[in-house]
């Protein structure tokens, strides 16, 4: 599938609910074929942003573009949207339900049935096809919801907290499918408050805190830029007295390894040379990349669940 131009573009978007500002002065551009993560704690404005992309909410200011135009009905039908607040028709049979969702998304009845069966097979739910949805576990229901968003083979997947509530095994299954869809040329935007998940999957991330965008960058680029000069080292045998070395400002034990924080401007080569000079033999020497969580905290303060809490962290 070929896609040209920006898939989603938000410019200066703002949304308020009464006195509460849910999203403020928000810019975002998603290029085709990427996996984009929208990260932030609960209540930071992720869902509101996504709802505006889907035309469910109208912004109070700024503009929202989907496939280069207003998020009208025709454009929205090219999106597979898994809302955060999602439910099922509990009393319907699994396959009937999926066929219904296929139909309202414009897929013919028989094609919808074929695709639904394929997906059920793929997610190991075939034997449940003629069971009522209420007989399924929460995790299985979530898989059914996911299938219902991809039945019409959309170009863009917008998944709001797709992994919440899934056990680790099913999280892996879903991650795998998300990656496969990307391989097939789809653009994927998902929101999550789980930083590790985002770290594994995303090519690009946008961090939101308290209604505002904090960071928006390529993940690798971001990590490179955010390096803090911490080196993890492990020695064979006795460790040399690293704490006394001039280039090292701080030493922290982490299991078998030592995390050395280098003083500003001290290159790693200097540290390596020092190790060689001491005659110590290395088992491991690694420049540590910051975790996404640390980057987030560094830029936005501890993720606050409560929006009413005072604004402590600022945008750097």
- Burial, 236: exposed, middle or buried (Cβ in 10 Å; 0-12, 13-18, 19+)? exposed
CB-based contact 136:146 (threshold 8 Å) = no
Shortest distance, position 145 Cβ to another protein, whole Å: 7
264 in contact with another protein (CB under 8 A): no
74 in contact with another protein (CB under 8 A): no
Residues 204-263 close enough to bind another protein by CB under 8 A? none
Shortest distance, position 89 Cβ to another protein, whole Å: 6
128 in contact with another protein (CB under 8 A): no
88 in contact with another protein (CB under 8 A): yes
155 in contact with another protein (CB under 8 A): no
Shortest distance, position 236 Cβ to another protein, whole Å: 57
| E strand residue ranges, the chain | 8-17, 20-30, 35-39, 61-66, 79-82, 156-160, 187-192, 204-209, 212-218, 230-236, 248-254, 257-262, 281-287
Residue whose pair of structure tokens reads 């500002």 in the numeric block: 21
Only one of the segments 80-88, 205-213, 226-234, 305-313 lies at the binding site for another protein (rule: CB under 8 A); that segment is 80-88
56 in contact with another protein (CB under 8 A): yes
Shortest distance, position 108 Cβ to another protein, whole Å: 9
The number of beta carbons lying within 10 Å of the beta carbon of residue 148 is 23
| Separation CA 55–CA 59 (nearest Å) | 9
Shortest distance, position 226 Cβ to another protein, whole Å: 36
129 in contact with another protein (CB under 8 A): no
81 in contact with another protein (CB under 8 A): yes
Shortest distance, position 71 Cβ to another protein, whole Å: 10
73 in contact with another protein (CB under 8 A): yes
Residues 170-209 close enough to bind another protein by CB under 8 A? none
54 in contact with another protein (CB under 8 A): yes
Considering the complex, state which of residue 87 and residue 241 has its C-beta at the smaller distance from another protein.
87
Nearest-CA neighbor of 162 among 170, 154, 121?
170
Nearest-CA neighbor of 47 among 314, 316, 307?
307
Q: How far is C-alpha 292 from the chain's CA centre?
A: 11
| Separation CA 68–CA 45 (nearest Å) | 23
Only one of the segments 84-92, 198-206, 208-216, 248-256 lies at the binding site for another protein (rule: CB under 8 A); that segment is 84-92
285 in contact with another protein (CB under 8 A): no
91 in contact with another protein (CB under 8 A): yes
Q: How far is C-alpha 201 from the chain's CA centre?
A: 7
Shortest distance, position 151 Cβ to another protein, whole Å: 10
131 in contact with another protein (CB under 8 A): no
Binding mask 4-33 for another protein (x = CB under 8 A): ------------------------------
Residue whose pair of structure tokens reads 């979530």 in the numeric block: 142
For residue 303, what is the DSSP state? P
82 in contact with another protein (CB under 8 A): yes
Residue whose pair of structure tokens reads 């410019």 in the numeric block: 11
Provide the b/e sequence for 207-234 (b: ≥16 CB within 10 Å).
Answer: bbbbbbbbbbeebeebbeebeebbbbbe
| Separation CA 240–CA 243 (nearest Å) | 9
Q: Do strands 212-218 and 204-209 pair parallel, antiparallel, or not at all (unpaired)? A: antiparallel
Shortest distance, position 54 Cβ to another protein, whole Å: 6
Q: What residues does 254 pair with on adjacent strands? A: 257
Using CB under 8 A, list all residues that contact another protein.
Answer: 54, 56, 73, 76-77, 79, 81-83, 85-92, 100-101, 103-106, 145, 148-149
């Amino acid at each position: 599938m070929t896609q040209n131009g920006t898939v989603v573009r938000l410019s200066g978007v703002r949304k308020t609910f009464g006195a509460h500002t849910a999203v403020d002065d928000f810019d975002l551009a998603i290029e085709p074929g990427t996996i984009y993560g929208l990260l932030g704690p609960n209540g930071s404005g992720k869902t509101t942003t996504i709802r505006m992309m889907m035309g469910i909410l109208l912004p109070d200011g700024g503009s929202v573009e989907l496939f280069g135009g207003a998020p009208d009905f025709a454009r929205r039908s090219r999106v597979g949207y898994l809302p955060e607040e999602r439910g099922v028709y509990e009393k319907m049979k699994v396959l009937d339900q999926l066929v219904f969702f296929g139909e309202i998304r414009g897929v013919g009845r028989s094609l919808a049935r074929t695709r639904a069966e394929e997906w059920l097979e793929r997610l190991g739910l075939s034997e449940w096809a003629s069971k009522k949805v209420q007989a399924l576990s929460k995790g299985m229901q979530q898989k059914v919801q996911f299938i219902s968003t991809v039945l019409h083979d959309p170009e863009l997947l917008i998944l709001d907290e797709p992994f919440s509530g899934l056990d680790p095994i099913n999280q892996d299954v879903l991650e795998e499918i998300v990656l496969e869809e990307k391989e097939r040329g789809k653009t994927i935007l998902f929101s999550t408050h789980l930083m590790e998940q985002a770290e594994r999957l995303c090519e690009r991330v946008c961090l939101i805190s308290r209604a505002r965008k904090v960071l928006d960058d390529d993940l690798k680029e971001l990590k490179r830029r955010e390096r803090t000069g911490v080196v993890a080292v492990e020695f064979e045998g006795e460790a040399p007295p690293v704490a006394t070395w001039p280039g090292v400002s701080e030493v922290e034990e982490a299991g078998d390894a030592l995390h050395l924080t280098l003083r500003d401007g001290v290159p790693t080569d200097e540290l390596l040379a020092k190790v060689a000079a001491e005659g110590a033999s290395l088992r491991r020497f690694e420049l540590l990349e910051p975790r996404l969580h640390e980057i987030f905290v560094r830029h936005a303060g501890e993720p606050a669940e409560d929006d009413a809490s005072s604004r402590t962290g600022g945008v750097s």
